Amino acid sequence: MAGARNAWEVFQSGGDPAGVQAEIVKSWRRSQWSGVDPEHLEVGHSEVDDESAFVRTAAPVLSHMADVLVGSSTCLALADLSGNLSWRWVSEPLLGRRLDRFQFEKGARFGEEHVGTNAVGISLESGRSAVVVGKEHYKQPLHGWACAAEPVIHPITGQVCGAVNVTCRAADANQLLRMAVRSLANGVRSAMYSASSAKQRRLLDAFLTYRAETTRPVITLYDHIMIANEAATALNLDQSSLWAAVQEAGPAATVIRVSGTVTAHVYPVTPGRPSDGVVLLPLAGKPSDGRRGEGIRAGRPTSPHPSGLSPIEQAEAEIVGNVLAECEGNKSAAAVRLGISRGTLYQKLRRYRLVSES
């Protein structure tokens, strides 16, 4: 790591470092802008919730791995969303005492803005796994250590819950660090999915089903959970406000106003029981009668849907009919709004026995 040390010294003296990963240099710059002291160890401490749902689920996964690491001079740790260490395990007492001297202990603030470049901080900042070895750390007192970390994304909500971390002496670091931390993160995600309720899994299943059938924004919603695809995330809709709108609209609602001129078609995850959660398909524009919570009545099928349609096909038929009504029968405009070709729209009109093609 002589090259890294020279690069670190060059950077600290105001020069342009060479021979160091771009991600590390970017983190050095962020650390410098945050006013992190590169010479002194002090990282500070915060109150942490060591009984959080994340710790309760993740700690047993890491503890299981710990059984094979005894005697290996390895530390496993969990950090919350701010990078504060909320749980720690060490393979041997001596390592624990050494880490205590370097303030790598429960409650220590290892977010990048507090301690500078380190794996926990980079992983939470970038949303990806990170490995920082020796003199790649921003703080000089940490140059004797190596660490790897990966953010843990909840398999149901898609939200980052915290990060898992593996730490060892810099002299013991190898290419297996990244593999180890990824394995731990995957194990924690699997445990989270197993620990989720049947209702939460139904929400995820519904989201995946609808997402596979459309390029439109898709949101699956419950009283404290929101799962959204990229198109829906771009709308910047608030979960609590959306759920309040669903509840206000009532169980018979097929369309609700969600924001400004954006409305959304509503499909209960459990038919007839929106209290179990709903799928929202946002659409620019507003219901034809302008009132929240009332379905668009114009443009309904001229004859009943054909028998044997799957739930997703029934939902699609409803969407096509509603969009066509919003476009006042203009098939070209409806095709554009649906994100499909005019020919595909005609096929769906015939398939679902919707308004005539004339």
Please name which of 144, 96, 99, 135 lies closest in space to residue 117, comparing C-alpha atoms: 135
What is the pLDDT, as a whole number, of residue 346? 80
- Choice between 230 and 110, residue whose per-residue pLDDT is larger: 110
What is the pLDDT, as a whole number, of residue 252? 84
pLDDT band at 2; cut points 50, 70, 90? low
Task: Determine the average pLDDT of the residues in 267-296.
Answer: 65
Dist. CA 166–CA 183, nearest whole Å: 11
What is the pLDDT, as a whole number, of residue 36? 95
- Choice between 284 and 105, residue whose per-residue pLDDT is larger: 105
High-pLDDT (> 90) share of the chain, %: 41
Instruction: Give residue for tokens 């519904």.
Output: 206
Residue 69 confidence (pLDDT) above 90: no
CB 89 within 8 A of CB 63: yes
Residue 292 confidence (pLDDT) above 50: no
DSSP letter (8 states) at residue 96: H
Task: Determine the average pLDDT of the residues in 98-120.
Answer: 95
Residue 169 confidence (pLDDT) above 90: yes
Residue 61 confidence (pLDDT) above 90: yes
What is the pLDDT, as a whole number, of residue 306? 55
What is the pLDDT, as a whole number, of residue 297? 30
pLDDT-wise least confident of 103-117, 195-209, 249-263, 320-334 = 320-334
Q: Name beta bridge partners: 282.
A: 264
- What number of CA atoms fall less than 13 Å from residue 191's CA on the CB side? 19
What is the pLDDT, as a whole number, of residue 199? 81
What is the pLDDT, as a whole number, of residue 293? 35
Dist. CA 322–CA 328, nearest whole Å: 10
Strands of the chain, DSSP E: 75-79, 85-90, 130-133, 145-153, 160-169, 219-221, 226-228, 255-259, 262-270, 273-284
Q: Two tokens at 73?
A: 């001079």
What is the pLDDT, as a whole number, of residue 237? 87
- Choice between 321 and 15, residue whose per-residue pLDDT is larger: 15
Angle made by CA atoms 108, 109, 110, in degrees to the nearest 5: 105
What is the pLDDT, as a whole number, of residue 10? 93
pLDDT-wise least confident of 12-26, 31-45, 164-178, 191-205 = 191-205
Cα dihedral angle (30, 34, 38, 42), rounded to 10 degrees?
-130
pLDDT, tens digit, 9 for 90 and up, residues 307-353: 566 656 666 777 777 777 777 778 888 777 777 777 788 888 877 77
Residue 294 confidence (pLDDT) above 50: no
pLDDT band at 94; cut points 50, 70, 90? very high
What is the pLDDT, as a whole number, of residue 313? 67
Most confident of 115-124, 185-194, 211-220, 229-238: 115-124
Residue 9 confidence (pLDDT) above 50: yes
Most confident of 22-31, 208-217, 225-234: 22-31
pTM for this model (two decimals) = 0.66
Share the mean pLDDT of the chain. Answer: 83
pLDDT band at 355; cut points 50, 70, 90? low
High-pLDDT (> 70) share of the chain, %: 87
pLDDT, tens digit, 9 for 90 and up, residues 74-85: 999 999 999 999
